[in-house]
Chains A and B, each alone.
Chain A
Amino acid sequence: MSNQALLEVKELKQYFPIKGGVFGRTVNHVKAVDDISFTVNEGETVSIVGESGCGKSTTGRAILRLDNPYSGNVLFEGEDLISLSKAQMRKKRKDLQIIFQDPYASLNPRQTVSQILEEAMEIQSVVPRKDRRKKIQELLETVGIGAHQMDRYPHEFSGGQRQRIGIARALSVNPKLIVCDEAVSALDVSIQAQVLNLLKDLQRQFKLTYLFISHDLGVVRHISDRIIVMYLGKIVEIADKKALFDDPKHPYTQALLSAIPSTNIAEKKERIILKGDVPSPIDPPVGCRFHTRCPYAFERCAVEEPKLMNVGNGGFQQVACHLMDEQAK
């Protein structure tokens, strides 16, 4: 792992317009991702965790410009992806790939496995035509699928196999960064482990960098180097894996971690139950977005928005919470 930044996300915002009225005027916005910044270093696995609707998948898609972001910058190897033209971005896609959650929906049912893999190679012209079939065979074998199955259709495979095909597809253009958007959430636990180990092996083999989006903390713990915790479109905590799991600082992170079921019966864990629901991202709370549900909230939280600040002693840990100030006093 080097400390060279591969991906830098700066002040990224993704607002989706809400159309209303007869003429479809924009009446409001869903603030799915609201001003987030982070860096992913080369060869690293950074995870984004958070509950449904917190903006983690939206972040992944905005980085790849599958949905164009509302504002902000996405620097990839120092180059701003947002400023690229459509044609330039298409070429750039060679370096950034994505694996989706649902292996049943992410493969075109009308294409055979080899067609799915070949299409990307052809567009990005990474492999000369005559070598493509051989390359496809190699890729499939790398992800653990027999090369003789390359002319089958996606529906002839199981969920786990399909996800492997999705991974082979992402690998087919030799990318540098892969966004794994809930890549194992739809799989059985036993298959999850296999696919996660496969992803780890591939990372070593191809020097890949992962941005791993998940709501499953067990999975995240297994694969990540660094973890970003999101709540309602904002980053509340970024930390090295060890720091985050050993000493979570943000009350939301603490609540999330307390929800992981323990395998140790003797260990009595106290679960932090959050009251209420996640507020609407159309009209998020002023101040700290978490203050409506935070067990430690005080006056300042409802007024002033906390900024991410370094709290790590030695390791890397940033938290956006006013409690940190209070404790420092």
Chain B
Amino acid sequence: MFLYIVRRIFQTIPVMIGVTLAVFLMMHLIPGDAAKIMAGENANPEQVEQMRENLGLNDPLYEQYFRFIGNAATGDLGNSIRTSRPVTQEIFDSRFWITVQLAIIGTALAVLFGLIAGIISATRKYSFADVSLMVIALFGLSMPNFWLGIMLIYLFSVNLGWLPVAGWGTWEHMILPAITLGTAGAAIIARMTRSSMLEVLDQDYIRTAYAKGVGDKLVIYKHGLRNALIPVVTVVGLQFGSLLGGAVVTETVFAVNGLGRLIIDSIRAHDFPMVQGTILVCAVLFVVVNTIVDISYRLLNKRVDLN
């Protein structure tokens, strides 16, 4: 098991190289001269040349890449053009944690409601409850994030006045953004749980369990759900990643100062080091989460081949 974890962590290395390469090349591939933008609109050619030298843009590409990696490994992602503060500081002071918090609460909501809906649907196949839950799930899946967010604000904040319109700080601020973020995930998890449960509940070992005299509830949870969870875990992992993407929109709608808004603001301001840094952090987070998911397979499914 330990060896498996070590091996799995080593397997993330090629992915990380790919990620850093993509993020690094982004700066060189986008139209426009980075040095020119960074030096400012009124800079003369000498100043731009000076900036280019400072940024090391005259060095060969591979040298620049290794420097980027080396710096990134020591936590140096350069300084923000907008605020002149180190990018890592900007990201990790509070924004990163806000987004992670939001993503975790969103995922938790999605898993909770998705699983409950999926189990109810699967155990009462084709009933009124099943059909209505799946229709709701379809709606949840089809609604665009930003629209759902605005509708939730309109209903709960503007009309009912129960929850704050925007901002961050108390648990009340978290509710609407977390719901907005988690809805699509809940819908996917509900549908996945339903189909996976239906498949498992039709297996002979479920009949075996009934034949042993195991009670209905225990059959569904111990023999059914535990086996049905494996594909659901995959979806949860992937969902967590897309939640990071969804955070860009959600944070903008709810004016939450997280990573998502940081990316948007930095892109608008042509703040290259900042964009590079945030995207790198998001990508690494995604890889880490999916590695954890892979490892948890092993705990869930004894049949996963360790080699």
* Interface of A toward B, CB cutoff 8 Å: 19, 24, 61, 64, 66, 86, 90-91, 93-94, 96-98, 100-102, 105-110, 119-120, 123-124, 153, 155, 166, 169, 173
Contact = CB atoms under 8 A, between A and B. Distances in A.
Nearest to A121: B212
Given A110-B226, A155-B302, A100 B204 contact: yes
Q: Chain B at the A interface: mostly helix, strand, loop or mixed? A: helix
Nearest to A120: B212
Contacts of A66: 207, 210-211
Nearest to B131: A24
B211 A64 contact: yes
Contacts of B214: 119, 123
Nearest to A86: B216
Contacts of B298: none
Contact of A108 (B209, B213, B301): B209
B138 to A, nearest CB: 16
Contacts of B226: 110
A97 B302 contact: no
B219 to A, nearest CB: 10
25 contacts: A64-B211, A86-B216, A90-B213, A90-B215, A93-B211, A96-B211, A97-B211, A98-B211, A100-B204, A100-B207, A100-B208, A105-B205, A106-B207, A106-B208, A108-B205, A108-B209, A109-B302, A110-B226, A110-B301, A110-B302, A119-B212, A119-B214, A120-B212, A120-B213, A155-B303
Listed residue (B209, B212, B302) with the most chain A CB atoms within 10 angstroms of its CB: B212
B36 interface: no
Interface in B194-248: 203-205, 207-216, 223, 226-227
B126 interface: yes
Contacts of A86: 216
B98 to A, nearest CB: 38
A102 B205 CA distance: 10
Interface in B96-128: 126
Listed residue (B203, B205, B215, B303) with the most chain A CB atoms within 10 angstroms of its CB: B205
A19 B210 contact: no
A134 to B, nearest CB: 20
A157 B10 CA distance: 31
B215 A107 contact: no
Contacts of B210: 66
Given A124-B212, A153-B303, 16 more contacts: A90-B215, A94-B213, A98-B207, A98-B211, A102-B204, A108-B205, A108-B227, A109-B205, A109-B227, A109-B301, A109-B302, A109-B303, A110-B226, A123-B213, A123-B214, A153-B302
Contact of B204 (A93, A96, A106, A119): A106
Nearest to A124: B213
Nearest to B305: A155
A196 B211 CA distance: 22
Given A93-B213, A119-B214, A108 B302 contact: no
A173 B208 contact: no
Nearest to A169: B208
Those 5 A-B pairs whose CB atoms lie nearest each other, nearest first: A106-B204, A93-B213, A120-B212, A90-B213, A100-B204
